[in-house]
Structure formats: C-alpha cells, structure tokens
C-alpha cells in the first residue's frame, strides 16, 4: 500500500504542481487555501489508504471520490480507497489492528474504534476544530466519538445512515390511517389492517446487521427494556423486555412470511417488487425507485416516517453510525487528520450530503441547513436521525462490549427465537442474558 | 616407533573433518536434507497456525490484544452454551446427510458415466460444472432460488397451482437445514463422481469378462469386482468429502449467516462469527479446536481402513 519510491513521490509532487499551474487558481483556490490555512499539515510525501463501507447510493460515492481527488490536488497526498460491504469492514479493521498492518484509515460501523481503543489515533484536535467551526456535535455523535465519559476522540463520527419507516401511502390510507402511526399500539393496528388488505410489511429477523438490529433495538427500548443499565450491568431479563417480546410476536404475525431469513437486502427487493408495503430501511429504497423508470409509481406512492413511539414515551430509534478512524500504526498521522478535517468542511460536506440524497445524515449541527433536507420533503425525516438516535449499548457504554453484542445479534436473536416459536419469553430472555453476561463480564 | 606412528599427521586430518562436513555428505542424512524444504513449509503454514489456534483457545485473546492464559475457561463456557451445541448438532447432521447422499449419488453417476454412453466426454465435462463454479457464486444463485419472495421454485409451483404461498426455504428451521444441505450436495457430487470414475477406469475389463463368462449378474459384478477394487478410492474420496463438508463455510455464510435463529450455524461459521466479527479470538479458537477431534476421527477411520488389505482387496485376501 505505502510502498512508494522516490520516483512516484517526485511524480506525485510534480503532478500536483502541474495541475495547479495548468488549471489555474480558479479550480483549486479553495482547496489550496484550505491546505495552507488548515491547522493540519500532512507530512511531506505522505500517502494514505482507506477502507470504507461500500456505498448504497452511487452518487454518494462519486461525491466522496471527488472530495478525495480535491484533497490530493490540494495537498499532494494520494488517497487509495478500497470498499467492502459494511459488515466486512469490521473484521478487516480488527485484523489490521491486531497485526499492525493494513489501511491507514477505516470507515466502518457503530463503535468500530472501541473494539481496539488502544490501537487508534487520538483525533481530539480534529473533532474540537470541526465542532467549534460547525455549531458543535450532536450529543449522540459525542458518545460515538469519545465513548461514554471519555475525554479523547477515538474517531470522527462522520455521519449516520438513518433507518426509518418506509411505507406505501395508498395502502396506509386503505388501512384507515391518514398519517403514519405515531405509537406502537397504532402501528400494530396498522400492520394488522395492512395484512388483512393483502398489503403486508415486514422487518428483517435474520442476521441482517443493519435492518434487524435497528428495529429489534427500537422495539426493546420502546417498551423500556434494556440489555444493560448505565453501569453496564446486564438487565435484559425484565418485565419490560417481556412486553417488548410479546409486542414483537404480535407484529411478527402480521408480517409477510419469510422475514426470519431476511438479510439487509431482502426488504429492499421485496418493497421495490411491491411485495411489502412497510419496512424499516434507509433512504436507499426511495432512491432506487426514483432512479428506475419502471418504479416511478412506487416512488410517488411511498414515504418515510419516524419509528412509532412506545410506552416509554420518547423516540427510541437506532441508526447506523459511520465512524472514521485512523490507526496508530499509520506513518502519516497528520495526513490522516488533515483528510478527516477536509472531508467535513462545508465546501465538501454540503455537496456530499446533497449527493447522498438523504442516505447520510450529518452529526454537526450547522448542516441542519443543508438544502437536501428541504429539496424533497420525503427526505426530511432523515434530517433528524442524529438527534433522535440512541447509541449502541443503549443506557450502557458505547464500548467494545456494545459492539460485540450487536455483532453477535444478541437482541435480534432474542426476538427471532421468540417470534419463531423456538423458545418462550423466559427462555429467550435467559438465553440473551447468558450471552450478554459473557460479553459484559469484567 | 610406536609413538611416531601414533602422531602421524593423516590421523589428525581425519579428525579435522567436522561433524557438519560429514553430515552434509552422509547418505543416511541425505533424505533429511531433501525433506527439509517441505517440512519447513508444513511447519510454517500448517503446524504453526494449528498450534497457535490451539494455544489461543486456552487464552482470553481478543482481536487487537494478546490474551492471558485462562486454562479451560473457554471450553467450560462452550460446554454450557446452547448455541455451540446447536452448531455441533447442525454440523454433524449437515456432514452425515450431505456426505451420505453425495456418496450414493456420486457413485451412481460414476457407474453411469463409466458405461458407453453417447457424448461421453461432454457429459463428463458437464457433470463437473457445479464443482468448477466458485462456491460463493453458486451460493448466491441458491440464495435467489431460496429467496422468501422471489424464489423461482415457489414461483413455478404457484403457477402450476400446486402451492398457494411461497415456500419459506430459509426462514423455517428445518427447511433452512435441508436447503443448505441440498446446496452442499449439489456442489459436492461432481468431486465424488469424477474421482470414483477415475477409480473405475483402473478396473481391468478382463475381470468383468471373466465374471460374465462365469455367469455373474450385474449386481454380482459390482459387489465382487467393482466394489472391492474401488474401496481404496472410496476411502480417500469420502475422507476428503467429509472433511470438506464438515468445515464448510461459504455456502452457509452467503445463504443464511447461520440463521434462522442459529439453526444452520455450523461450527466453522460460529467460530468465524465469535472470533472475527465479535472479536473473541480465544472462544472462536476453542470452537475451531473442538472440530479437531471430529476431523481426526474421520481421518483415522480411513487411515486404518487403507492399511487393511481386506478393505483394499476384498474380504478373503488376507
């Protein structure tokens, strides 16, 4: 990856100068000025490599690549990007952390840096710089950046990918609802009516890292259940969890058959084929429908909504966080920091948010004003996901135990085994409790 | 005189030849030198990782930090872990059912292909296709075939009016198990069939001619000529087949990730999930290490089988 020679360095250097000279200051003046005024100066001759999650919305990746190119032109630092399906970033990053060799930067999921906190670069200066400049970080992003009660930033919580309710407007109206249900009770009535009308929906109950974890945690938290309390003591075996399980089973009975086998892609396919009329997902279904000439009817007939609020009386959503971290072993820590700062500066980030069409949600308050949230009213609900989300681990710490519990599907499997009728409520809770206690043992 | 003879220089020279110089040319050691490169590769890439894996299973190593020795703690935990025992059950079921059917169908195919069929060469090549396609690709094809909403099987049966609801291939515990077993069988048959076919070709036709003259039936020719002569190959093929099936990973990972509710988790997939995805290297290694006794048993059975002349050359040839 970093096996550059003197020759490539010279070439890189001259190329950067040549481009600057040829295209004149017009194209590059901002990026160049940024490079000069930025507090983060890359090391001479630095080259970076980054492994990022594979895009769901092509235009988002195009905008991302443009940012990387601008960075290279402004600073002379070449950035090599590789992409992996988002759940595969974690094993690669873990192995890299373990062996001390691999990409300089990893852009993964949830609390990735907390799996190996002592191996990642402290980026507090970047976080402070961005926070001050752009209206501060939302609280959930601070938790993902520093951990619960942590002082140093282990990563830059770049953005969320919101997982909200996707629904068909016509079938909702046919089910007798003018707007999407706001409470869990209404939601169950809605799901029941939808099934009766032959327009069922469904939530993934297989090992779907994104969709299944999102709704299972929502359901657990909405009823007051929690995997752990604020001291990371396992409290999953509780009457509240039992209520959540009972509710999920009633809901499961109203879902389309087969959800136990669903992965993250299954509900997208089924929704776009008109097989299901409600599910939880990012904005990718809508984006795909808009782009496909044969799916215009679905795009026009669908909308997004917040998750219904449960007995606890407040939002209990769980959105995907994408933290960007740099490894301590990198030869160019300053270049990593410079890139992190560059990505989130308004001139880059605004264009990127627009290109992602609502798939990504910012974590810096100033970006609430980005036009992407008003251009299409159907993206509007996604603006608030950073403010509505709870963090991995719920009440507990966002550390490696929380990350492990999510990747082990402790909560998802608890719901799945009860919904599938493999265990009773008590069995499902005690299985999850046993697993969680192992994960959270001190 | 005697003193002078004792102090003769030539004796001294012989003593000067070092042990190393003698080892270099010693015929008894020559074999050792030739084996050394192979041994180095085996030790470096097989024995060392295996040893390391076993060692890790006695530690609480996590990804990103080396663990401390915890004795049998990982195994004790697994002993009481429902999911682990479920994966052991799944692995045994998967291996037994899939290997048996692969052997039966593979042998049948091999016998069929050994006959004088039209387009024999093409047919033999076609049989190999499932084996040639990369596992992940065929797994993705099966993923669509088994899809809860878009399965071609469900679609066809629905259009034929035989069923009214989609078949829940991967969402039902037992359906999922049979579905992944079927995919594994589909993929594994060519290996068994083609290898057994190679074995069949080595059987001398004169034996069949003699048997036919003696009035042996087709079944008797198979039972008393083909089967005994094929036994060594069968032992090797089935050892490999069992080992491949027991350690299968890709098919399961693509199709179900061990779901629904861990009903198709094999020991290999569970080990990967615990060790790499969740970061518990120690526990994952313990699961992988727990596979060793089963694999050793499979190897030993065929090893001792191969040593026995009865197995190799028929029952009465001791």
The answer on pLDDT for B13 being more than 80 is no
A115 to B277: CB separation less than 8 angstroms, yes or no: no
User: What's the gap in Å between the CA of B258 and the closest CA on chain A?
Assistant: 8
Identify the band that residue B14 occupies on the pLDDT scale cut at 50, 70 and 90: low
Q: What is the pLDDT of residue A14?
A: 38
Query: Tokens standing for A53?
Result: 């999650």
* Mean per-residue pLDDT, B85-99: 95
Model confidence over A285-321: pLDDT tens digits? 999 999 999 999 999 999 999 999 999 999 999 999 9
pTM: 0.81
Q: What is the pLDDT of residue A25?
A: 45
Q: Is A87 on the interface with B (CB under 8 A)?
A: yes
User: What's the gap in Å between the CA of A166 and the closest CA on chain B?
Assistant: 18
Q: What is the pLDDT of residue B15?
A: 59
The verdict on residue B6 lying in a domain is no
Q: What is the pLDDT of residue A237?
A: 95
Q: What is the pLDDT of residue A21?
A: 34
User: What's the gap in Å between the CA of B253 and the closest CA on chain A?
Assistant: 10
The verdict on residue B5 lying in a domain is no
Calpha distance A327→A262 (Å, rounded): 34
Identify the band that residue B114 occupies on the pLDDT scale cut at 50, 70 and 90: confident
The verdict on residue B45 lying in a domain is no
Calpha distance A301→A292 (Å, rounded): 14
Q: Which of B134, B124, B108, B129 is nearest to B194 (CA)?
A: B124
CA A442 to chain centre: 28
A261 to B256: CB separation less than 8 angstroms, yes or no: yes
The verdict on residue B8 lying in a domain is no
Residue B310 or residue B137, greater confidence: B137
Q: What is the pLDDT of residue B309?
A: 57
The answer on pLDDT for A22 being more than 80 is no
Distances in Å between the alpha carbon of A184 and those of A21, A111, B218? 61, 28, 70
- Counting residues of chain B whose pLDDT is more than 90, the rounded percentage is 38
* Mean per-residue pLDDT, A192-206: 94
Q: What is the pLDDT of residue A10?
A: 38
The answer on pLDDT for B172 being more than 50 is yes
The verdict on residue B21 lying in a domain is no
User: What's the gap in Å between the CA of A253 and the closest CA on chain B?
Assistant: 14
Chain B residue numbers with beta carbons less than 8 Å from the beta carbon of A100 are: none
- Counting residues of chain B whose pLDDT is more than 70, the rounded percentage is 90
A408 to B168: CB separation less than 8 angstroms, yes or no: no
CATH code of the domain covering residue B206: 1.10.3720.10
A416 to B172: CB separation less than 8 angstroms, yes or no: no
Domains in chain A with CATH codes:
24-162+319-388 (3.40.190.10), 164-318+408-440 (3.40.190.10)
What 8-state DSSP symbol labels residue A57? S
* Mean per-residue pLDDT, A67-91: 89
Chain A residue numbers with beta carbons less than 8 Å from the beta carbon of B56 are: none
Beta-carbon contacts of B150 under 8 Å, excluding residues fewer than 6 positions away, are A269, A273, B144
Q: Is A416 on the interface with B (CB under 8 A)?
A: yes
Query: Tokens standing for A247?
Result: 């509710």
- Burial class from Cβ neighbours inside 10 Å (0-12, 13-18, 19+) for residue A187 reads buried
- Counting residues of chain A whose pLDDT is more than 70, the rounded percentage is 93
Q: Which of A123, A153, A87, A137 is nearest to A403 (CA)?
A: A87
Structural domain total, chain B: 1
Q: Which residue of B has its CA nearest to A428?
A: B261
Model confidence over A400-434: pLDDT tens digits? 788 889 888 999 999 999 999 889 999 999 999 99
SS3 of residue A160 by DSSP: strand
Query: Which of A90, A91, A258 is facing B148, going by the closest CB pair?
Result: A258
The verdict on residue B36 lying in a domain is no
The answer on pLDDT for B318 being more than 70 is no
Number of residues assigned to chain B: 318
Region for residue B177 given its phi and psi (left: phi exceeds 0; alpha: psi -120 to 50; beta: otherwise): alpha
Alpha helices per DSSP H over B60-151: 73-79, 82-114, 120-127, 129-132, 135-145
The answer on pLDDT for A28 being more than 80 is no
What 8-state DSSP symbol labels residue B68? -
Number of residues assigned to chain A: 442
Model confidence over A123-158: pLDDT tens digits? 999 999 999 999 999 999 999 998 777 789 999 999
Q: What is the pLDDT of residue A23?
A: 38
Strand ordering across the sheet containing A278-281:
A278-281, A164-168, A302-305
Chain B residue numbers with beta carbons less than 8 Å from the beta carbon of A210 are: none
A266 to B172: CB separation less than 8 angstroms, yes or no: no
Least confident of A8-22, A380-394, B164-178: A8-22
The verdict on residue B63 lying in a domain is no
Q: What is the pLDDT of residue B10?
A: 53
Q: Do residues B94 and B294 lie in contact, with contact meaning Cβ atoms separated by under 8 Å?
A: no
User: What's the gap in Å between the CA of B56 and the closest CA on chain A?
Assistant: 14
The verdict on residue B3 lying in a domain is no
Q: Do residues A357 and A125 lie in contact, with contact meaning Cβ atoms separated by under 8 Å?
A: no
Strand ordering across the sheet containing A78-84:
A78-84, A47-53, A105-107, A320-326, A156-161, A360-362
Residue in A203, A255, A258, A271 to test binding to B, most B beta-carbons within 10 Å = A258
Q: Which of A316, A369, A341 is nearest to A164 (CA)?
A: A316
Measured from the Cβ of residue A297, the count of other Cβ atoms closer than 10 Å reads 12
Maximum mean pLDDT: which of A40-44, A380-384, B63-67? A380-384
Q: What is the pLDDT of residue A218?
A: 96
The answer on pLDDT for A95 being more than 90 is no
Q: Provide the residue range defining the domain that includes B242.
A: 81-313
A206 to B256: CB separation less than 8 angstroms, yes or no: yes
* Mean per-residue pLDDT, B39-63: 91
Q: Are strands A302-305 and A156-161 parallel, antiparallel or unpaired?
A: unpaired
């Amino acid at each position: 990856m970093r096996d550059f020679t003197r020759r490539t360095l010279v070439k890189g250097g001259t190329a950067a100068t040549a481009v600057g000279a040829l295209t004149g200051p017009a194209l590059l003046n901002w990026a160049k000025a940024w490079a000069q005024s930025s507090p983060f100066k890359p090391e001479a001759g630095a080259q970076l490599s980054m492994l990022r999650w594979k895009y769901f919305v092509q235009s988002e990746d195009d905008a991302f690549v443009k940012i990387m190119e601008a960075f290279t032109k402004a600073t002379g630092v070449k950035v090599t990007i590789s992409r992996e399906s988002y759940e595969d970033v974690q094993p690669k990053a873990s192995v890299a952390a373990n062996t001390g060799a691999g990409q300089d930067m990893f852009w993964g999921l949830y609390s990735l840096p907390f799996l190996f906190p002592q191996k990642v670069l402290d980026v507090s200066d970047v976080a402070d710089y961005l926070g001050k400049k752009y209206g501060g970080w939302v609280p959930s992003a601070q938790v993902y950046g520093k951990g619960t009660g942590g002082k140093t930033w282990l990563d830059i919580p770049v953005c969320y990918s919101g997982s909200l309710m996707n629904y068909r407007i016509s079938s909702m109206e046919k089910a007798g609802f003018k707007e999407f249900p706001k409470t869990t009770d209404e939601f169950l009535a809605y799901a029941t009516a939808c099934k009766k009308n032959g327009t069922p929906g469904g939530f993934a109950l297989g090992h779907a890292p994104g969709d299944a974890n999102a709704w299972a945690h929502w359901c657990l938290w909405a009823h007051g259940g929690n995997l752990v309390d604020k001291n990371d003591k396992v409290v999953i075996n509780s009457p509240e969890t039992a209520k959540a399980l009972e509710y999920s089973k009633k809901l499961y009975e109203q879902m389309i058959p087969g959800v136990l086998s669903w992965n993250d892609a299954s509900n997208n396919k089924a929704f776009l084929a008109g097989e299901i009329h409600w599910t939880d997902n990012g904005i990718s279904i809508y984006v795909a429908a808009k782009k496909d000439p044969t799916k215009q009817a679905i795009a026009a007939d669908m909308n997004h909504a917040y998750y219904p609020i449960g007995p606890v009386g407040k939002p209990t959503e769980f959105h995907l966080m994408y933290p960007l971290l740099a490894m301590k072993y990198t030869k160019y820590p300053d270049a990593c920091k410079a890139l992190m700062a560059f990505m989130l500066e308004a001139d880059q980030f605004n264009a990127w948010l627009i290109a992602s069409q609502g798939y990504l949600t910012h974590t810096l308050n100033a970006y609430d004003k980005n036009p992407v949230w008003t251009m299409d009213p159907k993206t509007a609900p996604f603006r608030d996901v950073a403010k509505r989300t709870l963090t991995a681990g719920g009440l507990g710490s966002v550390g490696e135990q929380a990350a492990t519990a999510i990747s082990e599907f402790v909560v998802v499997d608890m719901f799945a085994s009860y919904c599938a009728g493999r265990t009773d409520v008590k069995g499902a809770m005690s299985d999850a409790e046993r697993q969680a206690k192992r994960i959270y043992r001190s | 005189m005697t003193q002078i003879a004792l102090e003769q220089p030539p004796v001294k020279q012989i003593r000067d030849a070092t042990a190393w110089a003698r080892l270099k040319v010693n015929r008894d050691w020559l074999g050792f030198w030739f084996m050394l490169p192979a041994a180095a590769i085996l030790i470096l890439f097989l024995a060392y990782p295996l040893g390391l894996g076993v060692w890790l299973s006695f530690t609480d190593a996590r990804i990103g930090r080396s663990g401390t020795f915890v004795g049998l703690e990982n195994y004790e935990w697994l002993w009481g872990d429902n999911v682990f025992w479920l994966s052991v059950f799944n692995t045994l079921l998967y291996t037994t059912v899939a290997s048996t059917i692969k052997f039966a169908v593979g042998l049948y195919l091999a016998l069929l292909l050994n006959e004088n069929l039209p387009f024999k060469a093409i047919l033999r090549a076609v049989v190999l296709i499932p084996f040639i396609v990369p596992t992940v690709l065929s797994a993705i094809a099966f993923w669509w075939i088994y899809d809860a909403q878009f399965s071609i099987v469900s679609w066809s049966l629905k259009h034929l009016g035989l069923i009214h609801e989609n078949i829940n291939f991967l969402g039902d515990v037992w359906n999922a198990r049979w579905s992944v077993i079927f995919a594994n069988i589909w993929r594994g048959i060519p290996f068994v069939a083609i290898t057994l076919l190679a074995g069949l070709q080595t059987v001398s036709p004169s034996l069949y001619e003699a048997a036919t003259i003696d009035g042996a039936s087709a079944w008797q020719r198979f039972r008393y000529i083909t089967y005994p002569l094929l036994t060594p190959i069968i032992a090797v093929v089935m050892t490999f087949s069992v080992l491949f099936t027991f350690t299968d990973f890709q098919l399961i990972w693509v199709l179900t990730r061990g779901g629904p509710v861990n009903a198709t988790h094999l020991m290999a997939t569970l080990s990967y999930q615990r060790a790499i995805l969740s970061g518990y290297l120690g526990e994952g290694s313990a699961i992988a290490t727990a596979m060793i006794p089963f694999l050793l048993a499979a190897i030993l059975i065929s090893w001792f089988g191969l040593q026995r002349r009865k197995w190799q050359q028929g029952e009465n040839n001791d």
